[in-house]
Amino acid sequence: MPVITCVEDLRLLAKKRVPKAFYDYADSGSYTESTYRANSDDLAAIKLRQRVAINVDQRNTRTTMVGQEVAMPVAIAPTGLTGMQWANGEMLGAIAAEKFGIPFTLSTMSICSIEDVASVTSKPFWFQLYVMRDRGFVKEMIQRAKACKCSALVLTLDLQILGQRHKDLKNGMSVPPRLTLANIIDLATKPGWALRALSGRKTFGNLVGHVKGGDGILTLSQWTASQFDPTLNWDDVAWIKKEWGGKLILKGILDVEDAKLAVTAGADAIVVSNHGGRQLDGAMSSIEALPMIVDAVGHQTEVWFDGGIRTGQDILKATALGAKGSMIGRAFLYGLGAMGEKGVTTMLEILQKELDVSMALTGTKDIREVNLSNIIRK
């Protein structure tokens, strides 16, 4: 096992161990990928303010997100096809998150079902919902989330139409999926992944039994592609909030006007996010949008950050700009693809250690005291 020092080490290991089609699915943006790159580049441009001769003994990274105590201001973001990075990946990720003390969010488009994840966890997790044309399915998923005692519903608002990801088309990750000669050759070089996959879940777990015509990945992927609803509007958000009745987190907010509407709709938290650069290519980075949204609505609801986090320093920067929490997607998938549950735990330990050390070197003892004085913006 190589020495793992940072999230980038996990990414490189995942790239070796996960079939190219699934690795690229996780690690790509739409069209030119300019927004995908901007998420990381704009974070890197923010500098931390070094302070010295300040007592920083007994530091604390613990805080709360929508009233839930967390070991650090981080939640695992919902990611589709997670179980294709490592067999039964959603269950393993949920177990690792629970042990570490941060929230785990299960995607509607997961390989393991909501019931699968509930069967291996002892504490409530979060469920992410996509609004489909079939409102019966939406209502059914809300009821299943309630039955599994999920403590928050994350409603993703920025995927009503799919942005094109060139790598997916070239790799056969299309609708319907296309098995290519390159894919077959690549799979032959990943025997460990293939062996694990034999015993793991192999289709969209939350959709099984709902779609007429079969439960295979082909049938379900075709149904899903026809179901993303371009008519999604704030009336739908109000309906979902009423059906759910619990903590509601709205993800995909990048504009001040939308942030204000989200508050009016009763969001308990909003996530400043551009879907990891996978949707509107040419949109601003999440970290660029964060301060203006915090200024506009941060006194009315919790504002969280999502997009480009690879280090604990990134978490510190987002917190300094007003984020009450951050969601991590790709860093989670890198850890999972590299070493399964152990990789997720390693990733979280790395981020917390980097956050803790960076707090100390900026003269900060408590994550709840981090503010604009901790950074230098050009």
Task: Render pLDDT for 175-188 as a digit per residue (tens, 0 to 9).
Answer: 767 888 888 999 99
Query: Has 139 been labeled as part of a binding site?
Result: no
Query: Has 25 been labeled as part of a binding site?
Result: yes
Average pLDDT taken over every residue of the chain: 96
Among candidate residues 42, 205, 181, the one with its CA nearest the CA of residue 111: 205
* CB-based contact 23:14 (threshold 8 Å): yes
| Strand, coil or helix: 357 | helix
Peptide bond into 124 cis (omega under 30): no
Mean pLDDT of the region 298-320? 98
Phi then psi dihedrals of residue 288, to 5 deg: -70, -35
Residues in Cβ contact with 44 at an 8 Å cutoff, skipping those fewer than 6 apart: none
Sign (positive or negative) of CA dihedral 343, 83, 308, 255: negative
* CB-based contact 337:33 (threshold 8 Å): no
* Out of 12-21, 168-177, 188-197, 346-355, least confident range: 168-177
pTM: 0.96
Query: Has 377 been labeled as part of a binding site?
Result: no
Mean pLDDT of the region 368-372? 97
> What percentage of the chain has pLDDT greater than the value 90?
92
Mean pLDDT of the region 6-22? 97
- pLDDT above 70 for 18: yes
Tell me what pLDDT residue 1 has: 64
Quickly name the fold that domain 7-367 has: TIM Barrel (3.20.20)
Rounded Cα distance between 340 and 1, Å, is: 13
275 catalytic? Reply is: yes
Give whole-number Cα distances, 342 to 1, 95, 143, 192, 299, in Å.
Answer: 12, 10, 32, 16, 38
Q: Where are the domains of the chain?
A: 7-367
Query: Has 63 been labeled as part of a binding site?
Result: no
- Residue 214's pLDDT band, with cuts at 50, 70 and 90, is confident
Catalytic residue among 166, 210, 275, 299: 275
Rounded Cα distance between 291 and 272, Å, is: 10
69 strand-pairing partners = 64
Sign (positive or negative) of CA dihedral 232, 234, 237, 243: negative
